[in-house]
Amino acid sequence: MTVTHLTINGETISQDINPRESLADFLRERRNLTGTHLGCEHGACGACTVSLDGMVVRSCVVLAVMCEGRKIETIEGTRKSEPMDVIRRHFHEKHALQCGFCTPGMLMMARDIIARYPEPSDSVIRSQLSGQICRCTGYAGIIAAIESAAREIRDAVE
């Protein structure tokens, strides 16, 4: 075990972590942050997407001990985020979710897309979502939700 210091959703912690434990397993099993879903466990599906120092990552392929001194934000950490409230509402209104398994990762990725591309085109959104898999909705509702959420967030700033 390795004592690791990290900040999760604004809370700084020190915890013994197995050097081979993935960040996804650590978040789910040891911190009870079950919004981080495990799908493929190879970084291909995006269900485990979290923010690490402001950059989206696949937590299933990041070792938790590699997060020493870093800031992690999970879907649970976005509960009081106005942009995420807008994004969640647009996902609901545009029917961009169905079973919900991919939704936390999709929402984290949607926020990242909007932050990097304030006026994302259809092709930019499709390209940026290429690592996120949804088996229920297709992607039309997801793309529409991201486009309309980006527009609302952009208009609110202007």
Q: Tens digit of pLDDT for each residue in 7-34? A: 999 999 999 999 999 999 999 999 999 9
Gap between the Cα atoms of 121 and 129, Å rounded: 12
56 and 112 share a domain? no
Q: Please state the domain count of the chain.
A: 2
Among 46, 61, 77, residue at a domain's last position:
77
In the chain, the amino acid numbered 90 is H
The CATH number of the domain where 95 resides is what? 1.10.150.120
pTM (predicted TM-score):
0.95
Do 56 and 112 contact (CB within 8 A), yes or no?
Answer: yes
Among 27, 57, 77, residue at a domain's last position:
77
Mean pLDDT by 10 residues, the chain (158 residues): 96 97 98 96 95 98 98 97 97 93 97 97 96 89 97 90
Helical H segments across 2-139, by residue range:
23-25, 82-93, 103-116, 122-128
- Spell out the SS3 assignment of 50-86: EEECCEEEEHHHCEHHHHCCCEEECHHHHCCCHHHHH
Domain residues for the domain of 56 are 2-77
The CATH number of the domain where 52 resides is what? 3.10.20.30
